[in-house]
Structure 1
Amino acid sequence: MTSKGTPGRMVRIDDETWAAYGELCAEEGTSRADDLRRHAYARVNAWRKKQAIQRRLKHLSDEPTDGDIL
């Protein structure tokens, strides 16, 4: 666990990219961890939204329509 109560994660990124990413984040006033966390949250939220839409469309296509024999 980290000091903020979330588990630490390990990623494999080459040293040159990691250093440049650190510079980029510093220029943007954020940390690599915070930037990665925001990216992961955004991706997961988009994925969940897509799943919800697909479930709703499936549910709508499964509903009987006027004229269907039940």
Structure 2
Amino acid sequence: MPTKGNPRQAFRFAPELWEDFKKACADEGTTPTEDVRTHVEKKVRAWRRRRAQADNGETAE
């Protein structure tokens, strides 16, 4: 979860893509920040799970 003092990260998107992304997020009742954070958290959880399985000699299903 974000906390004050966390460094900001900058990403570059084509202006038209970013504007449409903001509209899509608004239609879904979220913000671009929330949407990107959710995606990153999901990706990292899956990666950590795969790493833990590999460290334990398990195979991914």
TM-score of the pair, normalised by structure 2: 0.84
Unpaired runs of at least 5, structure 1: 59-70
| Higher Cα radius of gyration | 1
Structure with the larger RCO, 1 or 2 (CA within 8 Å, 6+ apart) = 2
Q: What is the RMSD computed on CA atoms of the aligned residues?
A: 1.3
Structure 1 stretches of 4+ with a deviation exceeding 4 A read: none
In 1, Cα distance between the equivalents of 2:19 and 2:12? 13
Unpaired runs of at least 5, structure 2: none
For this pair of structures, how many residues does the alignment match? 55
Q: Percent identity?
A: 31
